[in-house]
Amino acid sequence: MKILFYDTKSYDRDSFQETLADFSGLEIEYTKSDLDPRTATLAEGFDAVCAFVSSDVGAHTIEILHQKGIRLILMRCAGFNNVDMDAAKRCDIRVMRVPGYSPEAVAEHAMALALAANRRLYKAYNKVRENDFSLSGLMGFNFFEKTAGIVGTGKIGAAMCRICRGFGMKVIAYDVYENPALKDFVEYVSLERLLSDSDVISLHCPLMDSTYHLINIDTIRQMKDGVVLVNTSRGALVKTDDLIEGIRMHKFAGVGLDVYEEETNNVFEDRSDEILEHSTTARLLSFPNVMITSHQGFFTREALSAIAETTLQNALDFDAGLESANDVT
Ligand code: NAD
């Protein structure tokens, strides 16, 4: 089975090549191009493509993949909001994903962002490098005995709940389903109560119609003054213009973002100064209490090898005609 691997970074190639040794019958060709309607034509002669969160797996791309004979799209990530599932069904293309690889990788990064934003670590680092050892502008607050509000308590949210408990925080959560594994130490509350009671809010729900712009000026107004907000989930959970308004209102002690709305436009892949100047992400970066990382929550050794293993197993399951819990339906 031949797989065309899009948007290849050197670390992807390393982890997939290492894992491939344990999977016979699979062949991978790597391209640096990301998947979109133009590059979909490269898939001629392959059985499957492997794509990522940044890929454009919309209807147009899928139709071209179908014309080129592709029968399987392997998403090497958990989220699939960038895949047009109606088009995939229409074209009889199976879509498989990696629902969980290392929830702790993302949850640990979420806590790192919360701490870094609260204690202004990025600012402290730069100050000391410039020989400025003063503490002005660096004051934070203790997380111990404060309230953590976790939105979405699936795999990553649950890991974040455990981390927050370890910090001695009271943990409250909002989800459409309660996770029974958390019942001993997490109190489920309404979204309104989570917003008004939390000192640290961390988003771990998927991006769907019902969660699009979940954080907007109305929900921001309901938050405590001096809250720390972290988003490691999907950029469009937060309405960026409203977040900027909230920051201007001094609502936040700190904001930590690993994901942002403009990611899908590849603003930072492009790195054009002009785009950067006008991007809302660049506006966010101008605030001293905002810390942004570049969608690196998943980026640990353990997570990368788990992603490679599950993706290749998905390919084998497809080849063997087996149903899988990793099917996107
Ligand atoms: P999951 O499916 O295990 O959990 C998602 C949880 O969100 C579920 O419990 C679900 O019931 C809940 N949910 C659904 N709709 C909701 C709503 N309207 N309000 C509140 N909760 C709702 O997913 P996961 O593995 O924990 O991943 C969570 C998200 O993290 C993914 O959707 C993805 O966008 C993101 N993610 C980010 C990175 C990164 O590198 N930053 C890596 C992996 C995943």
Q: Which atom of ligand 1 is nearest to the CA of 103?
A: 25
Question: What pLDDT, on a 0 to 100 scale, did the predictor assign at position 276?
Answer: 54
Instruction: Flag whether pLDDT at 2 surpasses 80.
Output: yes
Q: What percent of the chain has pLDDT over 70?
A: 95
pLDDT in tens, 57-88: 999 999 999 999 999 999 999 889 999 999 99
For 201-205, what is the mean pLDDT?
98
Report DSSP state, residue 97. -
What are the angstrom distances between the C-alpha of 262 and each of 38, 54, 167, 268?
A: 21, 11, 32, 8
Strand order in the sheet with 227-231: 186-188, 170-174, 147-151, 200-203, 227-231, 252-257, 290-292
For 162-167, what is the mean pLDDT?
98
Residues 43/61, Cβ–Cβ less than 8 Å: no
pLDDT band, residue 281 (cuts 50/70/90): confident
Question: What pLDDT, on a 0 to 100 scale, did the predictor assign at position 282?
Answer: 86
Question: What pLDDT, on a 0 to 100 scale, did the predictor assign at position 18?
Answer: 95
For 162-186, what is the mean pLDDT?
98
Instruction: Flag whether pLDDT at 271 surpasses 60.
Output: no
Residue owning the nearest CA to atom 35 of ligand 1: 233
Residues 188/157, Cβ–Cβ less than 8 Å: no
Question: What pLDDT, on a 0 to 100 scale, did the predictor assign at position 66?
Answer: 98
Determine the distance separating the centroid of ligand 1 and the alpha carbon of 29, expressed in angstroms: 30
For 33-53, what is the mean pLDDT?
97
**Active site members:** 234, 263, 295
Question: What pLDDT, on a 0 to 100 scale, did the predictor assign at position 268?
Answer: 42
- Specify the length of the chain in residues: 329
Which amino acid is residue 314, in one-letter code? N
Q: What percent of the chain has pLDDT over 90?
A: 90
Mean predicted lDDT score pLDDT of the chain: 94
pLDDT in tens, 253-266: 999 999 998 875 44
Question: What pLDDT, on a 0 to 100 scale, did the predictor assign at position 17?
Answer: 96
pLDDT, greater one: 276 or 250: 250
Residues 189/172, Cβ–Cβ less than 8 Å: yes
Question: What pLDDT, on a 0 to 100 scale, did the predictor assign at position 70?
Answer: 98
Determine the distance separating the centroid of ligand 1 and the alpha carbon of 211, expressed in angstroms: 10
- Give the C-alpha separation, 140 to 149, whole Å: 18
Question: What pLDDT, on a 0 to 100 scale, did the predictor assign at position 280?
Answer: 82
Ligand 1 interacting residues, C-beta cut-off 6 A: 78-79, 100, 103, 106, 151-157, 174-177, 204-207, 210-211, 232-234, 258-259, 295, 297-298
Question: What pLDDT, on a 0 to 100 scale, did the predictor assign at position 272?
Answer: 47
Instruction: Flag whether pLDDT at 214 surpasses 50.
Output: yes
- Give the C-alpha separation, 26 to 71, whole Å: 15
- Give the C-alpha separation, 243 to 228, whole Å: 12
pLDDT in tens, 3-29: 999 999 999 999 999 999 999 999 999
Residues ≥6 apart with Cβ < 8 Å to 277: none
pLDDT band, residue 275 (cuts 50/70/90): very low
